[in-house]
Structure 1
C-alpha cells in the first residue's frame, strides 16, 4: 500500500490501475527476494 501511494506522489499524472498494480506486485516481489536473500 505504501508503494502505491509513493508512486502516485512521485508521478505528476496518476497512473492507470494496471500500472499501479504492476508496480505494487514488483515491489512485493522485490521485498520477498530481499527477505529470502537475507
Structure 2
C-alpha cells in the first residue's frame, strides 16, 4: 500500500514531463526538451 502512491506520482510527473517536452519541441526549443528529458530520467 505504501509503494502505490509514489508510483502514481511518478507516472503523473512522467506524463507532465512528456507534455512539456512536446510543447518545447513545438516551440522549437530542443535544448529545453533535452533538459526536461534529463530531469525525468
Q: Output the TM-score relative to the length of structure 1.
A: 0.59
Paired residue total: 24
**Runs of 5+ unmatched residues, structure 2:** 27-41
Larger radius of gyration: 2
Instruction: Name the Cα RMSD after superposition.
Output: 1.5
**Runs of 5+ unmatched residues, structure 1:** 1-14
Q: Output the TM-score relative to the length of structure 2.
A: 0.55
Which structure exhibits the higher relative contact order, with contacts defined as CA atoms closer than 8 Å and separated by 6 or more residues? 1
